[in-house]
Structure 1
Amino acid sequence: MTRVPLGVLDLVPVPSRATPREALEASLRIVRSAEAAGYARYWFAEHHFNPGVIGSSPAVLIALAGAATTRIRLGSAAVQLSPRHTEAVVAEEFALLATAFPGRIDLGIGRSALGGGGPIGPADAPETVTPDGLLIPEPYHFERTFDAPKFRTLAALLVRGEGGSTFADQVETILALLGDGIGDGDGRVDLGTAPGVSGPELRLFGSGTVTAQLAGRLGLPFAANYHSAPSGVLVSIDEYRAAFLPSERLDRPHVIVSADVVAGPTGERARELASGYPAWVRSIRNGLGAIAYPTPDEAAALTWTDADRRLVDDRVRTRFVGTPADLAARLDTLQRATGADELVLTTITHDPEDRIASFESIAREWHG
């Protein structure tokens, strides 16, 4: 059976008792392993001022990963544009990366919740299970996270000025800069790409309808987040396909879907490896930022309330945990339910070597 390509999404997590440098070194080992295992892409997420993840600059991480690999495509998943973000700098950075690593760079863009980005998830809807067996939980409402004092401080640090362009305007500016440039005559601005050097491939990442509809209207690939906002995955994909207009970049819709996974040699071992995840999600949704990822023993010692369990329930129940065969079956279900053209996997465990083993075992099972 021919299956869709797999990619990796890396948040560069910092395990408890480890240093950020050790976390970075682990990610470089993982990208080399992913390339050898046959993964099609390796993308870095963007998160700021989190003690448990150090993916503050996807462009820098891509450069480091490019120097450590030779074939695998590298990209962002995603650069988070806010209303006052400097889109010209994003275009320049990724054009430079495409010059350094020709034919290997993806520019993934998302809509930031900072600085008035607006709703990022679906409206209220009951929990359902698709005919294929994919769980679609009730939506999680991010107001508690966005209202947290640390989140407000981040908005003040990372967003400057008043007003600014809309997300759609920003994306179209980046497209123009990566294409023929902006302006006429002496006022024209372009990236000066060398002849024969292709720029980065642009794609949009989203959890709701705004980004999905924009990706469709512009004829761009769209990545839907089952791993972080599972309730909106089917709605956003439907909106993308309904809005899609063929472009010079893409003649038909191209959907990528993310999943959070952990594979182990046995189901019991996989569940042990995954046991730190609820506490890690709780810290994010409480607005404190991702904690350093706990060991199974550290996770077992934590205190939980019923409210805490409800806070993380949708993420815990939509994470795929089990043997490689279990995960391949669940990824097949995800692909059928969404019609995805690609799947991208994110995995966090305390020991980076367990992340490597998980990715490698899934690739072997997936590709047969």
Structure 2
Amino acid sequence: MSEVRIPLHAIKGRGTSTRMAHRFSRDARDAWDDGWGTLEDSLAEETQPSTEVTFEDARSAISRNDSPDIHFDYSVNPYRGCEHGCIYCYARPTHSYLNLSPGLDFETKLIAKRNIVEVLRADLAKRSYLPKLINIGSATDCYQPIERELRLTRSVIELMQEVGHPFSLVTKSSSVERDLDLIAPMAARKLAAVYITITTLDGEVARKLEPRAAAPHRRLRTIRALAEHGVPVGVSLAPHIPFVTDDMEQVLEAAWDAGARSAFYHVIRLPWEVAPLFKQWLEVHYPLRAARIMSHIHEMRGGKDYDADFATRMKGSGLWSDLVRQRFQKACQRFGFNRERIELDVSQFRAPSVSGQGDLF
């Protein structure tokens, strides 16, 4: 068992305590315990920074997906980084391209694309644009806390409503309820679907995994609110983490009772810098079972921390992966999930005008 060197109070409210060097860094520095208690003091000071938001002008708004294991064709991400601080987030390594740490910087140094709507409008107006499902916030949560003030996601949905473009979104936040005045009418026109991520019903585990996301019981209330307004709503059990989030059947039952009618799951993915961050998190929170957890992750990944192969990266491979898949399928059959596919209508799309003379031609 590895020694736990990071005090629990030093990571309160954050997923990690370290600004670990990213994979492009030339230098890497680690804190060192000199025996005088300075390590604990420095970590406590380091891990209590306020969230910083900077703005950028995006060159394009739509990211095109060519991965066969992802169900949507296009995505729009109003934000880089995510204050929810989920330790398992596969998007953490994207901060490396900004010369920022995938660790603490990913949670505290956020970038907002202030011109996202204007650029998206221009993208949708192109003659070459072919309307397909757009997923809002595929990399980082589009309803993370800064959305309450910046309202970039709401502006994107307003544009979707204006041009009749179908969209889906996945979130852990109850803030999506704020935009029901837009989402519910679009859902009635088969233009919107929402998926709420619930990794576990255990509030204590959720606070460790997703420190600034809504509590599990609050997410269930959000599912109920969406369903009551006629919005097609599903539940995401992503990621499944062996011996950490093992209440899959209970989550599905609670989500069904709240009104969710579709469900999906992924097993934990540990690309690039996510692997050492997650291992450190295990040593802090679950030191006695850390080796066992990683052993089963390796079993699903061919003996590695992660395998990026399109055929297996979402569900894994091997015996343990098969057992998880069987559990999920049997629970879905028992409760009634996924009996009807959510189909959104792309035929209602009308390209927006980007100039005063656009409608003349």
Normalising by structure 1, we get a TM-score of 0.40
Query: More helix per residue: 1 or 2?
Result: 1
